[in-house]
Amino acid sequence: MASAAAQRDARRTRERDIVVATRALFDERGLQDAPIEEIARAVGINKALIYRHFGSKDELFVATVTLYLDELAERLRGVDAELPGIERLRDGWGRYADFCLEYPAFLDCATSLMRRPAEDLRAFVTAAIWLRLGQAMSACIGPLASILAAGAAEGVLDVDDPDFVANRLYAQTLGTMHLARVGAGVRVTADGMPAEVPIDPQRVRDACVADALAAVGVR
């Protein structure tokens, strides 16, 4: 009989396999659409086994979001701490916006996650998944807040509460980057009719970086 430690390791491995398969389906389709049957097929298990690891599809969705957040956090930790404050902020927000461009499904998932109050979200996930989400979110917000705090200490950024500003700009960037995801806007023609306006995703990305800089007093 396998030891308790071996059983725990096997369980963690299977849980990660399930989450990785879910993310792969999200990335393939560009949205949070991954039927449980297809996830089970990708992992090579019966779909009933998925619910032994995750209490609901919602909980599996949250676990999958943390996988995106883990990768984003790793990229943000790569910002060179030796850069001047303004350049550090530009690099950090550029990395964040680039991640949103690279993974449209992340935009869908992260925005969906923020549509409900934290109390409601906490009600349908286990304590372990909730903790994991909090760790993943803080691993992303933390480097951004540190960039803002360092810039404020240098006297080049106007920031009185780095944590609040980092959270606000994080959410603002998610919303704006959806314009790149859609790829089109609207305008009113001379005869009063609506017309589609193509949107360049790179322009949206650059605007998000510029907005972050402007929000802390950099023009």
Return the structure tokens found at 107: 């935009």
What pLDDT, on a 0 to 100 scale, did the predictor assign at position 11? Answer: 73
> For residues 72 and 98, what is the distance between their CA atoms, to the nearest angstrom?
10
pLDDT average per 10 residues of sequence, the chain (219 residues): 70 82 80 74 81 82 90 96 95 97 90 82 84 94 96 95 97 94 91 93 96 92
Domain that holds residue 23: 1-53
CATH code where residue 9 lies:
1.10.10
The pLDDT assigned to 129 comes to: 87
Same domain, residue pair 197 and 95: yes
**CATH number of residue 160's parent domain:** 1.10.357.10
- Could you give the angle at which helices 201-215 and 85-102 cross, rounded to 10 degrees? 150
Output phi, psi for 194, to 5 deg.
-75, 145
